[in-house]
Structure 1
Amino acid sequence: MNALIKSATIVDSKSDFHNQEVDILIENGKIAKISKRISNPKNYKEIKLENLHVSQGWFDSSVSFGEPGFEERETISNGLKVAGQFGFTAVAMNANTNPVIDTNADIAFALSKANGAACDLKPIGALTKNSESIDLAELFDMKNAGAVAFYDYQKPIANPNLLKIALQYASNFDGLVLSFPQESKISGLGVMNENINSTKLGLKGNPVLAEELQVARDLFLLEYTGGKLHIPTISTAKSVELIRDAKAKKLDLTCSVAIHNLMFTDEKLNDFDSNFKVLPPLRTQNDADALIEGVKDGTIDMVTSDHNPIDIENKNVEFDHAAYGTVGLESSFGALQSLFSTKKAVSILTKGKSRFGVEDSKIEIGAKANLTLFNPETKYTFSKTDVKSTSKNSVFLGTDLKGKTYGIIANNKIELSE
């Protein structure tokens, strides 16, 4: 693949060309030249777009696509196409499929479905067989097949000894273990944050205590085992405090937050819109403020879209019975820029790569072209036409966002938004 990017501002603090407006020549998938002005005698494809900015390729640590088993929600092929069009050169895919991805053959199947895509698929294997939290899955075999981590998506590990053994075993081959932060006996049948709003709406509440007890337990287990732990999608102020204190002890620990838990609060549920039914639930403004501060000071390592397509039959039902989840790949950049500067938003979107085995991609001559193309200034109201996923269950519908993506150049391919 050959291309010439014209008049692009580079946003990459690791690059010698940071904040410079330049042309970028790409030959055979590698950056051949970066200069103020580059001619095009070989008539390569020229990419010239309004207010074009270029950064290292972005990464999302938690996406769900559905395939195999839930192709009506999303396929791997279309999911990766959407990810690429909206700036992501790599995504970590959860194991919440049917059957659950819990063997090396399942990992191989997922990777085979990703062949030829511009966006890299990094499969996450289930931590336990069939994600039933009883017996450990084939962790070592899945790691050898290409799994980047192990996680029973949004299913808490009830048995602390099971998590202890998982951390100890996975440490033998540098395996990353994920543990969903929820104590199920406390959360019970709660469908939203337990608060005055849940009482007003007559909906069962899921208290912050359910998350914080589980986080505290997992941190004790991590300190005991010395393993490698990632706590995905925290949602409370106390969770931020607990993780900040644990990091001060130099534990091998990272965590993430879903972008919608930074943007919205439980007041959004007043109209019983099931698009806002997410897990963990939307909390209070105090929680959102603490999470934003955690992102700013580095306590929270990654912000994820927690992209989870749900078909209309499982969303357009009574709130109590609706499935949890929102799509988010299409809105991640615009949402982040509503909260942070462009420099910070790009930093967030490129963090977490090494934790999930994704190669870093500094913008320099001779490097593989692994680039995200975007315009940070475009302002718009996010609508259903912006959702390119098969399922349309977006929590951001009707929200004012800032910044649009043009696509990516990666894996010797160009994937531009339509």
Structure 2
Amino acid sequence: MKLLIKSAKVIQPSSEFHQQQVDILIEDGVIASIKPKIDERADQILEIENLHLSEGWFDSSVSFGEPGYEERETLENGLLTAAKSGFTQLGLNSNINPIADHASALNFLQKENEKQAVRVYPIAALTKHSEGKDLAEVYDMHHAGAVSFYDYKKPVNNPNLLKIALQYVQNFDGLVQSFPLDESIAHKGYVHENKQSTILGLKGIPSFAEELQISRDLHVLEYTGGKLHIPTLSTKKAVALIREAKKKGLDVSCSVAVHQLVFHNDKLETFNSHFKVMPPLRSKEDQEALVEGVKDGTIDMVTTDHMPIDIENKKVEFENALFGTIGLESAFGALNALLGLEKTIDLLTKAKKRFHIPTSLIKEGKMANFSFFNPKGNYTFAPQHIYSSSKNAMFLNHSLTGKALGVYAQKNLVLHESDS
């Protein structure tokens, strides 16, 4: 099959075609030709106003629901949502039922890989049943396709277990993740602890619950060596701790959720449970420090931290609502509005190296793996922009700039339907 992409601007600094407007001919999934103008018969022609493309985007922390929570999201629709949102590769978390803590569970998560444009790279559980007691079968899961090991949103409370994990995975260059939360400090809190949380009568989580855990984890990493990833930072001091650790030469990386870069805890005044996430939205000062950490490279990557929650568990009293927001659909528009186009594309692709995900150079003879987008145009994110089965979107009614249009990957073209 031949696909001809007409008049697309390439955004990939490592490509000779960066910032050039070109036609691209794809034959059987391979880039056959890239020229200013191609006049050749094709089975399908893609021509969209102000079309831009880059290499396919990767998100390092995505949750769906299947198996166990299909009412939240299925694998099939989740991957379709990702494709329409511009993503071609996902790190899929282990928080299903049963927990993905063995090789056969990972095989299930990858069952759609040959059918869909989006490819799943499992983030396997670090411990059995994600209970934090015994190390899971990480070596077997590594061979089954796991790109990292992480008990989703659960800290490694036992420092000796973290020590053993970091030492063990060095045998195969594995990546351990440790969620930054000291549960003994956080206790039963669910929002940022400050004067506002007291006034609102909401139970708070102090910033130092995150910072204390990060400090401990970095000390363990300094002792053991190995590779550590700390997902979804939320505080100013956490950024400073990572910055200092990198100066010391520790092999540590970190991420921030897109919503933490855009919102802060003033949103809690409405008691809207869409804004209940873990880690919680912090202060404006924390938010600004996170943006600065992204700009100066201290924070290595962004994630949507996409977490569908069914209406029965989200549209309830704030205290009883489950943590989480969906974010795949709004990620590009939010980042583009905040940071500009080239920085946005860099952030949506640079995590691949850390997770050993294949990159894709836009060059003749290479397999085509593209994300399509239009970086122009402001609009308000609305229900018709949501493709997920669950609708718990923090970005509803927020102004975004530019839209993801779809993807071409694994010989599949997926475009979102026109919306208003």
User: In the alignment, which residue of structure 2 is the partner of 1:410?
Assistant: 409
Query: Partner residue of 2:330?
Result: 331
Equivalent in the alignment of 1:33: 33
Structure 2 partner of 1:289: 288
Distance 2:25 2:163 in 1: 50
Unaligned runs of 5+ in 2: none
Moved over 2 A (4+): none
CA contact (8 A) 1:80 1:114 kept: no
Residue 75 (structure 2) pairs with residue 76 (structure 1) = yes
Q: 1:235 touches 1:281 (CA, 8 Å); kept in 2?
A: yes
Contact kept in structure 2, 1:259 and 1:332, CA below 8 Å:
yes
Amino acid of the structure 1 residue aligned with 2:196: N
Mapped to 1, the partners of 2:195 and 2:94 lie a distance apart of 35
Partner of 1:375: 374
- Aligned-pair distance for 1:2? 2.1
Aligned to 2:24: 24
Deviates further, 107-116 or 381-390: 107-116
* 2:7 alignment counterpart: 7
Q: Spell out, residue by residue over 1:255-312, the C-alpha distance to the aligned partner (whole angstroms, 9 max, x if none).
A: 0000000100111010100000000000011101110011011110110000000000
| Secondary structure, aligned partner of 1:170 | helix
Q: Deviations over 1:115-136 (max 9, x none)?
A: 3110110111100000000001
Query: Deviation string for 1:225-254 (max 9, x for gaps)?
Result: 001110000000000000000011121111
SS at match of 1:414: strand
Name the aligned partner's letter for residue 410 of structure 2. Answer: N
Q: Distance in 2 between matches of 1:167 and 1:285?
A: 34
**One-letter amino acid matched to 1:218:** D
Q: Give the TM-score taking structure 1 as reference length.
A: 0.99
User: 1:113, 1:71 → 2: CA distance?
Assistant: 15
Query: How far apart are 1:96 and its partner, in Å?
Result: 0.4
| Pairs within 5 Å for 1:34-49 | 34-41=34-41, 43-49=42-48
2:87 and 2:224 mapped to 1: Cα distance? 34
Amino acid at match of 2:220: L
Q: Distance in 2 between matches of 1:396 and 1:40?
A: 42
* CA distance, structure 2, for counterparts of residue 123 and residue 168 of structure 1: 21
| Distance in 1 between residues matched to 2:371 and 2:2, nearest whole Å | 16
CA distance in 2, matches of 1:341, 1:271: 30
Q: Which amino acid aligns with 2:11?
A: V
Determine the C-alpha separation between the residues in 2 that align with 1:149 and 1:66.
19
Superposed displacement of residue 6, structure 1: 0.3
- State the distance in 2 between where 1:113 and 1:210 align: 38
Matching residue of 1:236? 235
Rounded to whole Å, the distance in 2 between the matches of 1:313 and 1:129 is 29
**Do 1:76 and 1:114's aligned partners in 2 also have CA atoms closer than 8 Å?**
no
CA shift, 1:378, in A, is 2.2
3-state SS of 1:353 partner: helix
| TM-score of the pair, normalised by structure 2 | 0.98
Per-residue CA distance 1:153-180 (angstroms, 9 max, x = gap): 0011111111111111111111110000
**What is the CA distance between 1:338 and its match in structure 2?**
1.5
Please list, as runs of the form range in 1=range in 2, the aligned pairs for 1:104-183 lying within 5 A after superposition. 104-183=103-182
Please tell me the residue identity of whatever aligns with 2:141. Answer: M
- Amino acid in structure 1 at the alignment position of 2:6: K
Report if aligned partners of 1:133, 1:158 keep a CA contact under 8 Å in 2: yes
Aligned counterpart, 1:91:
90
3-state SS of paired residue (2:368): coil
Q: Shift in Å at residue 341 of structure 1?
A: 1.1
Alignment of 1:175-214 (within 5 A): 175-214=174-213
Cα root mean square deviation, aligned: 0.8
Q: Indicate yes or no: 2:219 matched with 1:220.
A: yes
CA contact (8 A) 1:55 1:372 kept: yes
> 1: distance between equivalents of 2:15 and 2:135?
42
Distance 2:216 2:183 in 1: 13
Cα displacement (A) at 1:150 = 0.4
Residue 109 of structure 1: how far off its partner (Å): 1.2
Distance across 1 between alignment mates of 2:26 and 2:113: 23
Name the CA distance, whole Å, in 1 between partners of 2:43 and 2:15: 24
For 1:389 and 1:37, locate their aligned partners in 2 and report how far apart those are by CA, in whole Å: 37
Structure 1: unaligned runs, 5 residues or longer: none
Alignment of 1:55-66 (within 5 A): 55-66=54-65
Number of residues paired by the alignment?
417
* Deviation of 1:384 (Å): 1.1
Mapped to 1, the partners of 2:65 and 2:306 lie a distance apart of 11
Distance 1:23 1:324 in 2: 44
Secondary structure in structure 2 of the residue aligned to 1:402:
strand
Superimposed CA distance per residue, residues 95-116 of structure 1 (whole angstroms, 9 cap, x where no aligned partner): 0000000001111111114431
